Amino acid sequence: MLEDRSNYTLEDMDRMSVFHPLTSIETHMKQGPMIIEQSKGVRLRDHKGRELIDCGAGLWCVNIGYGRPEIAQAAQQAFENLNYYHIFGGASNEPMIRLADKVLTLFRERSGAPQMARVFFGTSGSDANDTNAKLVRYYNNLRGKPEKKKIISRTGAYHGLTTMAAALTGIDIYHKAWDLDGSGVLHTSCPHFFRFGLPGETEEQFTDRLIGEIEAMIAREGAETIAAFIAEPIMGTGGALLPPKGYFEKLQPILEKNDILFIADEVITGFGRTGDWFATGLYGLKPDIVTLAKGITSAYFPVSASVISQKIWDVLEAASPEYGPVMHGFTYSGHPVGGAVGLANLKIMEEENLPANAAKVGSYLREQLKARFGDHPYIGDIRGQGLMVALEFVADKAKKTFFKAGQNPHRVVAGYAPDNGIMIRGLPFTETLAFSPPLSITEGDLDQAMDALAKSLEQAMPELR
Ligand code: PLP
């Protein structure tokens, strides 16, 4: 007979049963879980009955906001009609076909990227980046360049946590003790001017120094060994880090000249978060591959996508008679319910023009944050684009120093936040709090969130001194 567990609380059962991602086991055993019971619009309710504005949109992903009945209806209809069939061996389904077409149309018509030619579906940003890492190597093998295999990523980058994606990720704590096989992965400097600009260096000089470093890396390694450069157009987990002036304009010709593919990881920036449909359009990028996830379904269903260019497709197509089927794919690639949910999600985003709202309220948010917190002794930088916004802490404003090890000002503030009515996340690379709410948020909600932030900051002050 199974043990009677009716005396256990949900918190107990969680502690005894669930292995949480990105969670300190020590802390979790003491504190237990925060159980989210309900969500609507931009708000969550937890098991203590607290109503919380979600300043993170989950993990930068619930772009349309929570609880939209249109999505539930689309999913129900899709489940009833065709709850699953794979797309291996040329099998297909209508919602997935239409979602692929929609994504390509958005790139063509809204982002100035007509070169994007095919969509490969997965279920997470990590698996999509693993697909991309495999694909650039496959591509080079098919065109007779088997030496061209290395991928350049950047310090501070986040590309996911499967083995290859985690190796591409450029933040040390994700590597510690995991023995990742990062062979062929190189990291170049983080493009965070506020933190890593040298004293007296202008932003343009900083860009030139970083670009020079990339050129030197290519020369040192040999362009014939480098397959791709992967970059988040705006680094998310790294701290909502905008590229310094001229960075991509100077980088892209170098990649092109050296026959190095450009992978734009738009897992966060895709689908409106920056105020544009894609950062590809925002920065005039010409990617060979784009990684998408999160906003493609607003996280109502796990769907990711690797969007590849005509140039890559042409090589795969030409090699097809010799190489046979492309032996890559997942059970849930092109899931019909994911397709239907994605389409319903993008319909809402278009009809309600949510990228434009992200641009408008994002500007308001940054203005207000600067007005309210710009003079705070521990807030050194307030930055962002659209609704990808961050506040970076400094122990000493003039010297831009970090706090003492273990002090974690951003996490202390985030810890007080739920009792004041918001969920806000501290990021792991710099001492940064991220504001990335649903794109449907209003200025009124943002005012309320900033009041809660002000209170949390005040409560945290004794621990920050
Ligand atoms: N790439 C970027 C830029 C991300 O921000 C993330 C997740 O936050 C990923 C990839 C990995 O996505 P997932 O957590 O769905 O595997």
> Which pLDDT score, from 0 to 100, does residue 184 have?
96
pLDDT value at 437 more than 90: yes
> Which pLDDT score, from 0 to 100, does residue 4 have?
81
> Which pLDDT score, from 0 to 100, does residue 62 have?
98
Distance 293 CA to ligand 1 centre (A): 7
Model pLDDT for residues 398-425, shown as the tens digit of each residue:
899 999 999 999 999 999 999 999 999 9
Distance 26 CA to ligand 1 centre (A): 25
> Which pLDDT score, from 0 to 100, does residue 459 have?
98
Residue range 228-256: average pLDDT?
98
> Which pLDDT score, from 0 to 100, does residue 6 have?
82
Residue range 438-465: average pLDDT?
97
Ligand 1 atom showing the smallest separation from residue 160 Cα: 11
**What are the phi and psi torsion angles at 352 (to 5°)?**
-100, 5
Distance 151 CA to ligand 1 centre (A): 18
Going by the DSSP 8-state scheme, the letter that residue 240 receives in this structure is: S
Residue 130 in contact with ligand 1 by CB distance below 6 A: no
Residue 297 in contact with ligand 1 by CB distance below 6 A: no
Ligand 1 atom showing the smallest separation from residue 302 Cα: 15
Give 223's contacts (C-beta < 8 A, 6+ positions apart).
258, 259, 260
Distance 389 CA to ligand 1 centre (A): 17
Q: Whose CA is nearest to atom 13 of ligand 1?
A: 125
Lowest-pLDDT range, 49-53, 181-185, 247-251, 254-258?
181-185
> Which pLDDT score, from 0 to 100, does residue 5 have?
79
ipTM: 0.99
Distance 60 CA to ligand 1 centre (A): 9
Residue 293 in contact with ligand 1 by CB distance below 6 A: yes
Residue 386 in contact with ligand 1 by CB distance below 6 A: no
| Torsion angle defined by CA atoms of residues 203, 206, 207 and 209, in that order, rounded to the nearest 10 degrees | 160
Q: The whole model's pTM is what? A: 0.98
d(Cα 15, Cα 27) in Å, to the nearest integer? 11
Model pLDDT for residues 352-379, shown as the tens digit of each residue:
999 999 999 999 999 999 999 999 999 9
Partnered with residue 52 across adjacent β-strands are 44
> Which pLDDT score, from 0 to 100, does residue 40 have?
98
pLDDT value at 1 more than 80: no
Residue 359 in contact with ligand 1 by CB distance below 6 A: no
Residue 59 in contact with ligand 1 by CB distance below 6 A: yes
Residue range 164-193: average pLDDT?
96
CB-CB contact of 391 with 454 (8 Å): no
Rounded to 10 deg, the angle between the 443-464 and 409-416 helix axes is 120
